[in-house]
Structures are given as structure tokens and as C-alpha cells.
Amino acid sequence: MKSTLSGTSVIGYARGTGSTAAGQAVHAASGAKLEPVYLSATPEEVDQAIDLAAAAFPAYSALSGKERGAFLRAIAEQIEGVVDDIAERGVMETGLPDARLRGETVRTTGQLRLFAALIEEGSWVDARIEKAQPERQPLPKADIRSMLRPLGPVAVFCASNFPMAFSVAGGDTAAALAAGCPVVVVAHHAHPGVAEIVAQAVMRAAVVTNMPEGVFSLLYGGGRAVGVPVVQHPVIQAVGFTGSRSGGTALMKAAASRPQPIPVYAEMSSVNPVVILPGALERGEAALAEAFFNSLTLGVGQFCTNPGLIFLPEGSGFVFLDRLKQLVGTSMPGVMLSEGIAKAYVDAVEAFAGTPGVETIARSAAPNGNGPGAAAVFSVSVRRFLEEDLLQGEMFGPAALIVRGTLEEIAATIPELEGQLTATIHGTEAELTAHSSLVQSLANKAGRVIFNGFPTGVEVCHAMVHGGPYPSTSDGRSTSVGTMSIHRFVRAVCYQSFPDSCLAPELQDGNPLGIWRMVDGELGR
């Protein structure tokens, strides 16, 4: 491994010393402890990182899109330079396969370059110009010009299930840095080594591209010692988080109790309902079962878009269920991300299995087929589903609940669901047309509605919405994937009667950046 792991926080361009041990990574497959010991940032180091971020904000936010874009591209290059280290350490820390670590690294560098391209082009700032009308009656109209501006320093929490794409230089960090916000990252205890490798890459990129010190820091330490103090620090202006509902709601409370409340973008839990209409079964039940099984068990079911809830019309789908039993029965349990996740999964599966009215459809027949990472499928009636709040909960892992009822009952159940990241419907085009109110009802509950597909696999693009009503996220108006996610870290500011030379280039008369703008209500460039 090229990278040296020191076990300390990255504070601007320097390294922390730490005080108490925050912990050691654990080899996911063997349970052995991995060197080095990671040291929790001291309260002084937390303040230092955040003060540096505050100091960096004026200069960093004033950089052009091209300059910030160069920084993002440099981060991508630096990460590519250590991809072998990421894969080596990542496999040990997370139990994810080498190909997944490398694939996630490609996604991470792709995200950074997508945001670089977005801000280099520049139109994302939604520039709006209303020219003065000094002769207007009864009152003159002043010159007013608005654009999106960064909120200020942002705290980003690494996710356990995405050591790269939602961690140190993942989607939240890329969006915040693109917006012009310095970022203070809080590492996840499950993969501190990958975090350190990536943080060093970011630090090198910041130096190479002459970014102000403090544009990026990485802190090690637990929620109480580091996480909550970071969220409650007056300098921090927004929070990005991907994780459990308990973790997300704790951050929401911490942010709401500040003298100045700030937005928290927590992507939490989702069971991703899938509605199967008769036409989908007619098309081929076995193939449908295979596609569902593949989505359910992808990454040992540890995706926020894992399809955990299937609505299947009563009295049909027997071949679908048979094929599913076969697939699940012969499946082998996978290694889960951490001991905590593995334990929570086993507990959730047992709780579902033990709920009156819940029938076990399929479990792995492997020796450890009731253990962590083993697939499981249950079934329940719509009536019982609606009676038991527990059954709307998430089994984070490769387990799903099939809810049986008439199509009318299924349609009536959708409005009772909690908010979701995704909702899926399988059927024919004619059925989709006939059930347009069901589609609308699914759209009211989710950020992404999928036809004849499965929700795992989130495309990083301009149209992606990876968000949804509470509790799938803390703020249903946001997405944490794709270029729209930059909007989480900005707000519009308007400038009234400013001389042209004192305006940002985005708002100057001559449109020197050649961006798309709305001028007196008309879009153009």
C-alpha cells in the first residue's frame, strides 16, 4: 500500500494529534482488528477545523466555477492515484468485494467530474435579471438580479454502506464543494482507513490547486464527541448525512435546537415498495422473481434502494413465489458491512418472522441461513400489514416482505405508507394507463417512480432524484444524488441597483460567462 495511515484527523493542511482512541477498524470477514488505532479529534481540533473552514469560505466561495472545477477534477485524479490502496483497505474494512470498491471509486470520481462540468459551464446558478424601468408608473422598477450563492461551511457524515460514493469525497462533499462551501467531514468508524486514504487525496488536490486552507477537513470521533459538536457549531450552515433513521433524526434534533437552526439533509430509511400488476406476472413469473432476487441481494441488500416491500395481487403469482423460494433457499449468506449492521439485520428479520400473521416464504437453506447476510422473504395480508407498524420498518439487508391483497386493497394501502426513496410498479403500458391514480399515489410517496425495473442502481445524472418524503429523507425537497443535489447547499441572493462592475460575472450585462439566464422573464444566453 502506497498510502501511510497515521490514525489522525486531517485539519486543513495539517494533521491532528487526537487524544483518546476513537477505535480501530475491524476486518469485516474475520473480525480481526486492523491497524492503526484511530484517535478522536480533540474539542480544540474540532474548533480548529471549523474555524479554518470559516476562514476559507470568503475566498473559496468567491472563486470562479472554473477554479472550483479544477479542484474537483484534481480530487478525482488524486483518488485515481490511490485506487489500489482504496480497494485493498476497503475490502478488509467493509467486506465488500474488490470490484465493488473499484466500481464505487469510479462512481465517486465520475460524480466529482460531473459537478466540475456543471460549475465550469455555470448556468446552474439560476441567474435572473430584471432590468430597471425608471419610468414605470405608478412606481419605478429597480434593477434586480439574483443568483444562487453557497450557504457556508457544511458538515458531511460518511455512510457505512458507501465507503466511497457517500463518504469523504462522495456525493455530499462533491455537491457542497461545487456550490462553494468548505466541507468538514466526520469519518465513519467502520472504514476509517479508506477515509484517511481519500482525505489525503483531497488534501493533496487542495494544495496542488492552491485552495485556501480549511476548504476541507476530516475528523475522527464518535457522535457525541465530534458529530453533534460539529452540527451545533455556529459556523456550520448545513449537514449532509446517509445512514440510519435514529442517526439522522438525532442530527435533525441537534440542528433544530441550535440558536440558528440549519438544514439537515439526512438520507435515512426506505423500504422501496414494489407493486406487481397482473400483466407483469403474465409476462413471465420466473424471470420477474429472478430480477427481484438479484435486486434484493445486490450488495448483501445493503442499499437504501433495496426493494423490501412487494405488493402482490392475491391468488396469483405462484410461480413467482416458487422461483423465489428456490433462489432464496439456495442462496449463500454474504458478509455484511459491520458487526452492528449484521446484528441489527438478524434482529429485524427475527422480529418480522415472529409477528403474528407473517408467513415465512423463503429462507436460505445454508448452515448459517438464519444468520447475518442471509436472504429471507416473508408474506402477510394487507390487513395485518396495516395493523402492525413494525411491518413498515426496514430490515437493512437482503430481506423483503410480500403483502397480499386485492388490487383495490393494494391501491388503498399506498397512501398509508411512509415516505420512500423509490416506488416501483410492474405491469403493461395499458395497466399503467388504467392505474394512473395508483401511479400518482406512488409519486406522492417517493422521489423516484420506476416502471418494470428494480430500484437498486441509482444513475448519477441531471434528472436523478434520490430523495423522498420523510422518513426516507429529513427533507423531501432534496436529492442526494445527481446535479440537483447542489441545491441543498445554496440559497438565492438578489442584488438591487448594483453597478455592473460590482456584480458577479454571472449577473453582468454582457454575460461574460455565456451562461443561460432569465432576463426580464425570458430564458436565453
Which sequence positions are flagged as catalytic?
A: 267, 304
- Element holding 43 (H helix, E strand): helix 43-62
- Element holding 399 (H helix, E strand): strand 399-405
The DSSP call for residue 4 is P
Instruction: Tell me the C-alpha distance between 332 and 214, whole Å.
Output: 46
CB-CB contact of 486 with 122 (8 Å): no
Task: Look up residue 92 and give its three cell numbers.
Answer: 478488509
At its nearest, how many Å lie between its own copies and the CB of residue 256? 5
Q: Name the residue nearer to its own copies (CB basis): 115 or 378.
A: 115
CB-CB contact of 496 with 507 (8 Å): no
Q: Name the residue nearer to its own copies (CB basis): 318 or 451.
A: 451
Q: Name the residue nearer to its own copies (CB basis): 246 or 436.
A: 436
Q: Name the residue nearer to its own copies (CB basis): 8 or 441.
A: 441
Instruction: Tell me the C-alpha distance between 297 and 290, whole Å.
Output: 11
At its nearest, how many Å lie between its own copies and the CB of residue 519? 9
Task: Look up residue 81 and give its three cell numbers.
Answer: 492515484
Quick count: other Cβ atoms within 10 Å of Cβ 278?
15
Q: Which of these, 234, 206, 209, lies nearest to 218 by C-alpha position?
A: 206
CB half-sphere exposure, 450, CA atoms < 13 A: 23
Instruction: Tell me the C-alpha distance between 306 and 297, whole Å.
Output: 8
Quick count: other Cβ atoms within 10 Å of Cβ 88?
19
Bridge partner residues of 446 (DSSP): 420
CB-CB contact of 168 with 242 (8 Å): no
At its nearest, how many Å lie between its own copies and the CB of residue 472? 11
Instruction: Tell me the C-alpha distance between 225 and 41, whole Å.
Output: 8
How would you write 176-207 as a 3-class SS string?
HHHHCCCEEEECCCCCHHHHHHHHHHHHHHHH
Q: Name the residue nearer to its own copies (CB basis): 283 or 477.
A: 477
Instruction: Tell me the C-alpha distance between 45 and 455, whole Å.
Output: 41
Q: What is the residue-wise DSSP string for 499-519?
A: -GGGS-GGGSTT-TT---EEE
Chain position carrying cell 430490515: 395
At its nearest, how many Å lie between its own copies and the CB of residue 81? 22
Q: Name the residue nearer to its own copies (CB basis): 86 or 425.
A: 425
Task: Please provide the distance, in angstroms rounded to a whole number, between the alpha carbons at the two ends of the chain.
Answer: 49
Quick count: other Cβ atoms within 10 Å of Cβ 23?
17
Crossing angle of helices 83-94/65-81, nearest 10°? 70
Burial status of residue 497 (CB atoms within 10 A of its CB: 0-12, 13-18, 19 or more):
exposed
Bridge partner residues of 26 (DSSP): 33
